[in-house]
Amino acid sequence: MIFVIFPAYNEERVIRPTLLALADTMRGRENEYRAVLVDDGSRDRTVEEAGRAVAESGGALPLTLLRHGENRGLGAGLRTGIEWCLDRARDADVIVTLDADNTHPPALIPALVGKLEGGYDLAIASRYREGSSVRGVPGHRRAISDLGRLVFQVLCPIPGVRDYTCCFRAYRVQILRRAHLVYGERLCTARGFEAVMDLLLRLRPLGLRATEMGFALDYGARQGQSKMKVFRTIATTVALLSRRRLEHWTTDSPRRVSERIAAAERLAAAAPAPGAKSAAAVELAALPAPAAGRGAGPPAR
């Protein structure tokens, strides 16, 4: 099973074509994937437009809707989606994350997932590999990304990774499950766009095996302005990088992480078989796709 997570905030103009593009890509494979839309307190018609996509897909779009009652940031959206998927996935399954603003083409998902067959835990759609291209991104944003890439590669190198900031990724469930054993609620605590980097850095001490494939990032397909606050993101990213680098040599060193994984696995093996889901998991249960023009139920708390 492939779980495809879309964290979304006020994406009413693009969420419908984005979801329909996914449905077209996976047509005939409806039993092999599930889209998971995490609505992060949107104040527009994001949910209603997602419902339209379900109706127009003719049954080709299995969609689960998870909702935050208020805007909590990209990190919370990723965490909500990942935790929901981990509660239901098998170790052999795959979790894909991508932006909901129509800049990451769902048509590449099968190829991205296919990259994992080489024994990798993570495959990243990269702007720094052969075959990649970037269109419509402001020059200062590109310069910041290029500089950030170099800084991360020097200070927090991960074999196989050049693009630390792209959210378009395919993860084996097993690596995320191990990370959740180690970090729990600390798995992805950054609020803003730096959460994408934070999740990657959390996997670093786990012996992550990563690969990349080039892709075309086209911001010309985006409608509306980016929600990224550039200078705030730079400041929070620098702070995050400093903190994670220190932790890598202290509390979250590979040795200590391995010890925590072993302890958690021993505890899980000794525990009785699980019964009902926790209250938190029940609150995040799948909501049916909304009919066009209607809401989708109460927010998860």
Rounded to 10 deg, the angle between the 173-183 and 254-270 helix axes is: 90
Burial pattern 157-171, b for ≥16 Cβ within 10 A else e, equals ebebbbbbbbbbbbb
Q: Render the burial of 215-249: b for 16+ CB within 10 Å, e for the rest.
A: bebbeebbeeeeeeeeeebeebbeebbeebeebbe
Asked whether 173 and 179 are in contact (CB, 8 A), the reply is no
Residue 70 confidence (pLDDT): 95
pTM higher than 0.75 for the full model?
yes
Task: Give CA–CA dist 25/121, Å, rounded.
Answer: 23
CB 242 within 8 A of CB 201: no
* CATH number corresponding to 2-283: 3.90.550.10
34, 17, 3, 41: which is closest to 103 by C-alpha? 17
Domain boundaries defined on the chain = 2-283
Distance of CA 99 to CAs 83, 135, 231, 232, 239, Å? 18, 16, 21, 20, 24
Determine the Cα–Cα distance for residues 263 and 235; give it in Å rounded to an integer.
36
Q: What is the pLDDT along the chain (301 residues), one digit of tens a residue?
A: 999 999 999 999 999 999 999 999 999 898 999 999 999 999 999 999 999 999 999 889 999 999 999 999 999 999 999 999 999 999 999 999 999 988 999 999 999 999 999 999 999 999 999 988 888 776 666 777 777 788 888 888 999 999 998 999 999 999 999 999 888 888 888 877 788 989 999 999 999 999 999 998 887 655 555 555 566 767 777 887 888 888 888 888 888 888 888 888 788 778 765 544 433 333 333 344 334 344 444 334 3
* pLDDT, position 76: 93
